[in-house]
Amino acid sequence: MGDGRSGGGGVNRPAWLQQYDLVGKIGEGTYGLVFLARTSLRKCCIAIKKFKQSKEGDGVSPTAIREIMLLRETCHENVVKLVNVHINHVDMSLYLAFDYAEYDLYEIIRHHREKLNHSINQYTVKSLLWQLLNGLNYLHSNWIIHRDLKPSNILVMGDGEEHGVVKIADFGLARIYQAPLKPLYENGVVVTIWYRAPELLLGAKHYTSAVDMWAVGCIFAELLTLKPLFQGVEAKATPNPFQLDQLDKIFKVLGHPTPERWPTLVNLPYWQNDQQHIQGHKYDNHGLHNFVTVPQKSPAYDLLSKMLEYDPRKRITAAQALEHEYFRMDPLPGRNALVPSQPGEKIVNYPARPVDTTADFEGTVAVQPSQPVSSGNAASGNIAAASVAPSRSMPRAMHVVGMQRMPNTGMSTFNVAPQAGIGAPSSGNIPIPRGAAVQAHQQQLRRKDPSMGMQNPGYPQQKRRF
């Protein structure tokens, strides 16, 4: 249906695409492209992820299938919402439409590190973490492991009814782990290496939701210190999951793992055959406290160290973490993570997502035919983050040439439509003290904020309309 597509591009779009006004391209990965669009009807923002037909002649990529399959089943305030799926039978491309999220943790952290030079306020850190755990607890209790949690996959909603609400995105690597058909370990490597759990690095063949909790621990530390906790250099050449440098980075912070603390350690392949002498190398036990900014006796530190527990069986679960003392003391976590609890506190204006307004839905501007495309079936670890957010294969500062910042004012004028599940999150009780008035005030502040222009003085004035 609605395949009436001529080769033209922007004008003669398939019928189903006409319900969207394209704003521009916001991301790109091996799987395809991500666009920002507005629904013609409700004027709300939608992120459209376009999957290319895999070159290998193997149809819809397994990544897309997994994402559709899981997101068609999930419904939670802290999990990204798949609002539509479209198929273009002419070029066999597949489009997933999501509620658009303006921010992600990668950009939020980067903004603090590079522009503001001050840490993220405690309320925001705690609210972001609480909501991330809340979404993760939902996934885990439904036997879904995300497997690729990293700051760029944790989205945060922009202005609107869901302002400051965390959405876990990018389910391209996620799995249902109840009765797996084959061991979850595959040839492909899973999870960006900085957030990869030690049991995976040591070659564990069967693993659990604990790998997600390790990633959350790394993200928590990064929210506190603004820099990745374990920045290992990936050994790309090796097809195996053994990453010596990443393990080295972890051991330097947390000390050497011991079979006493982690009994099943001795069964892990790379510990066992130990060709790299990881057993013998001695690490001074530096202690995590030297690397993070929170006091060693604080609940925050306690929670963090429980997430970064070596033994996956002892590692804190999402459900347990939500009950941790850290979340019961002031400031209490809230639904709008971006609005500080203290009335007098400064509100941070995060930059809107860069939008390349020169691209069209076919991606004719952005995608060069010669672009190397690794197949959708390739080892999953090589698939760059297939999230609604712009993806990065490595969370390093990326500057996409030709990308422009959307002027902030333009973005705040339309509201993200309210959606189902606007009530309090399903488990736990977040106090929601901030009313609409505060939000309106905050929006106003945003509009006045000149920081956008100052950060990026060179951005062009014109905005192309589609």
What is the total residue count of the chain?
466
269 touches another protein by CB under 8 A: no
The pair phi, psi for residue 405, each rounded to 5°, is -80, 135
Q: Is 379 a binder of another protein (CB under 8 A)?
A: no
Confirm or reject binding of residue 65 to another protein (CB under 8 A): yes
Q: Which residues, in sequence order, are bridge partners of residue 27?
A: 34
Q: Which is nearer to another protein, 79 or 109 (CB)?
A: 79
Q: Tell which one of 7, 117, 182, 461 touches another protein (CB under 8 A).
A: 182
Q: State the minimum distance, in angstroms, from the CB of residue 390 to another protein.
A: 25
CA 462 to chain centre: 30
Q: Which two tokens stand for residue 251?
A: 């051991």
C-beta closer to another protein: residue 50 or 324: 50
DSSP string, 88-102: ETTTTEEEEEEE--S
Q: Does 72 bind another protein (CB under 8 A)?
A: yes
* Residue 50 is assigned to a ligand binding site: yes
Calculate the alpha carbon distances from 443 to 57, 65, 333, 439 in Å: 48, 38, 21, 6
Rule CB under 8 A: choose which of 16, 19, 60, 367 binds another protein. Answer: 60
| 180 is a contact residue toward another protein (CB under 8 A) | yes
Instruction: Name the catalytic one among 104, 148, 170, 356.
Output: 148
Binding of residue 380 to another protein (CB under 8 A): no
Question: Residues in contact with another protein, total (CB under 8 A)?
Answer: 29
Cβ of 396: how many Cβ atoms within 10 Å?
8
Binding region for another protein (CB under 8 A) out of 50-58, 195-203, 226-234, 367-375: 50-58
148 is known as an active-site residue: yes
How many whole angstroms separate alpha carbon 443 and alpha carbon 438? 9
Q: Does 229 bind another protein (CB under 8 A)?
A: no
Distance CA 279, CA 265 (A): 11
Q: Is residue 70 within the footprint of another protein (CB under 8 A)?
A: yes
Q: Does position 179 bind another protein by CB under 8 A?
A: yes
Positive or negative, the Cα torsion across 113, 119, 124, 126? positive
Number of H helices, E strands in the chain: 12, 12
If one asks whether residue 452 binds another protein (CB under 8 A), the answer comes out as no
Residue 461 neighbours by CB under 8 Å, 6+ apart: none
Instruction: Kindly indicate which of the ranges 71-79, 239-247, 331-339, 410-418 contains the residues binding another protein, using the contact rule CB under 8 A.
Output: 71-79
Binding to another protein by residue 58, rule CB under 8 A?
A: yes
Closest approach of another protein to the CB of residue 69, in Å: 4
Angle between helices 299-307 and 210-225 (to 10 degrees): 140
Q: Residue 378 and residue 247: Cα distance in Å, rounded?
A: 25
Q: Which of residues 316-345 bind another protein (CB under 8 A)?
A: none
Q: Give DSSP secondary structure letters for 176-192.
A: E-SS-SS-S--SS--S-
The residues annotated as belonging to the active site are 148
Q: Note the residues at the interface with another protein (CB under 8 A).
A: 53, 57-60, 62, 65, 68-70, 72-74, 85, 87, 89, 92, 94, 142-144, 175-176, 178-182, 377
**Which residues make up each annotated binding site?**
50
**Which residues make up each annotated binding site for ATP?**
50
